[in-house]
Amino acid sequence: MGCGSSFEASDGPRTVVVFGSTGYLGGAVATRLLQEPFLYKVRCVTRRSSSDKARKLAEHGAVIVNADLGEPKSLQKALDGADVMFLTTHYWEEKNKEKEVIKGLNAIDAAIQCGVKHIILNGSENIKKVIGKDCSNLDSKAAIEEYLREVGVNYTIIRLPFWYENFCNVFKPHKLKHGVYAIALPLEDAEVDAISVEDVGECVSSILRRPRQYYGKTLSLAADRLSMDKILTVFNKHFNNRKFVDPKIRLKDYEKFQFVGAKDITAMFEFYQTVIIPRDIKLTKRLNPSLLTFDKWMSENKEEIEDALKES
Ligand SMILES: NC(=O)c1ccc[n+]([C@@H]2O[C@H](COP(=O)([O-])OP(=O)(O)OC[C@H]3O[C@@H](n4cnc5c(N)ncnc54)[C@H](OP(=O)(O)O)[C@@H]3O)[C@@H](O)[C@H]2O)c1
């Protein structure tokens, strides 16, 4: 295969190990790659191979492998003979930056030992370096990026913005009174880049089609830019029997919220508010021509939002 040329089925399927495959991001990547069995053999990593999500992936052709990012020996088994690793690590389960970094480094070391030829990493900007405040859930990913750049393996880093899907879970609207919901994002007058995590699957598939074109690159992906006004307009348009309002939460209010991680999320929004991140919507569209705007995503995901509203 020459530089810039694409992979075809005649090159034989490549084995891609997908971390986080039972979650949103890894799930989107694994599900997309499983659609092309002539191009990819997909190994889905989980700590719970008997879970419903793992079984569903297996039904679609995935090989399910039991491994834990905290246990290097298990990673060797998962990565043995693989060509590509898609790596996403996780902060919120343990809420410990150092542990997340170690897990990311474990996977990279194991991939190198196993001769993996290309690592695609879900990375991040280093928020602490830019605004001087800890944002453990993203600074951890920035540290893993730094390591990956130094170890001498072919890599592609993707940096993702705010996910639309957050409105179905962590940032779902809160019921104020019958038919009225608040969307509590500390965005103030700023805008935030966003994407549907589902659409990242196609982006990764495009990277894998022409991998050499993306070796050594850091791709800042986005599909849309959202202000509070735009978010409210889209919600009110699609759920016109309810009213969605902006409670005008400021960073200094959010920081005082009593959940673990409130300070990290506040720093993340301070970063969104104060730093213009060069995210590349044009490039993202090239990688995924069916990329959804927030409006289109909402029209296709009303049931999920309805479920979230019922629980709020
Ligand atoms: N940009 C945004 O708006 C945004 C929003 C949400 C999340 N994120 C970030 O994106 C990443 C992926 O989040 P997600 O929502 O897709 O995750 P998720 O749905 O919470 O799923 C977590 C996944 O990680 C796996 N996992 C966790 N610990 C593991 C370990 N020690 N070893 C192996 N696998 C492990 C889980 O596998 P098993 O449980 O099956 O073992 C599961 O597949 C996270 O880093 C998260 O912080 C970003």
Number of H helices, E strands in the chain: 13, 13
Number of structural domains, the chain?
1
Nearest atom in ligand 1 to the alpha carbon of residue 28 is 16
Q: Is the pLDDT of residue 4 over 50?
A: no
> Mean pLDDT across the chain, nearest whole number?
95
pLDDT at 5: 53
pLDDT at 277: 80
Confidence class for position 10, pLDDT limits 50, 70, 90: low
pLDDT at 189: 93
Average pLDDT over residues 11-25: 95
Give residue-wise pLDDT tens across range 183-219. Answer: 999 999 999 999 999 999 999 999 999 999 999 999 9
Residues in contact with ligand 1 (CB, 6 Å cut-off): 19-26, 45-48, 51, 68-70, 88-93, 103, 122, 137, 160, 162-163, 166
pLDDT at 275: 87
Q: Is the pLDDT of residue 278 over 90?
A: no
Q: CB neighbours (10 Å) of residue 71?
A: 14
**Residues contacting 27, CB < 8 A, separation 6+:** 20, 21, 53, 57
Q: Which of 25, 50, 71, 105 to mutate to test the pocket of ligand 1 (most atoms within 8 A of CB)?
A: 25
Q: Edge to edge, what strands does the sheet with 174-177 contain?
A: 174-177, 180-182, 243-245
Residue 4 is assigned to a structural domain of this protein: no
Give residue-wise pLDDT tens across range 68-120. Answer: 999 999 999 999 999 999 999 999 999 999 999 999 999 999 999 999 999 99
Residue 3 is assigned to a structural domain of this protein: no
Residue 288 is assigned to a structural domain of this protein: yes
Residue 1 is assigned to a structural domain of this protein: no
Distances (CA, A) of 131 to 55, 95, 135, 139, 146: 43, 21, 10, 11, 18
**Residues contacting 152, CB < 8 A, separation 6+:** none
Q: Which residue has a Cα nearest atom 2 of ligand 1?
A: 162
Q: Ligand 1 centre and the CA of 89: distance in Å?
A: 6
Residue 21 is assigned to a structural domain of this protein: yes
Average pLDDT over residues 278-293: 96
Q: Which residue has a Cα nearest atom 43 of ligand 1?
A: 20
Its domain, for residue 204, covers 9-311
pLDDT at 6: 67
**Region class of 216: left (phi > 0), else alpha (psi between -120 and 50), else beta:** left
Confidence class for position 2, pLDDT limits 50, 70, 90: very low
Residue 89 is assigned to a structural domain of this protein: yes
CB 311 within 8 A of CB 172: yes
Q: What are phi and psi of 138, to 5 degrees?
A: -110, -35
Q: Which residue has a Cα nearest atom 25 of ligand 1?
A: 20
Residue 142 is assigned to a structural domain of this protein: yes
pLDDT at 108: 98
Tell me the CATH number at 71.
3.40.50.720
Residue 189 is assigned to a structural domain of this protein: yes
Q: What percent of the chain has pLDDT over 90?
A: 93
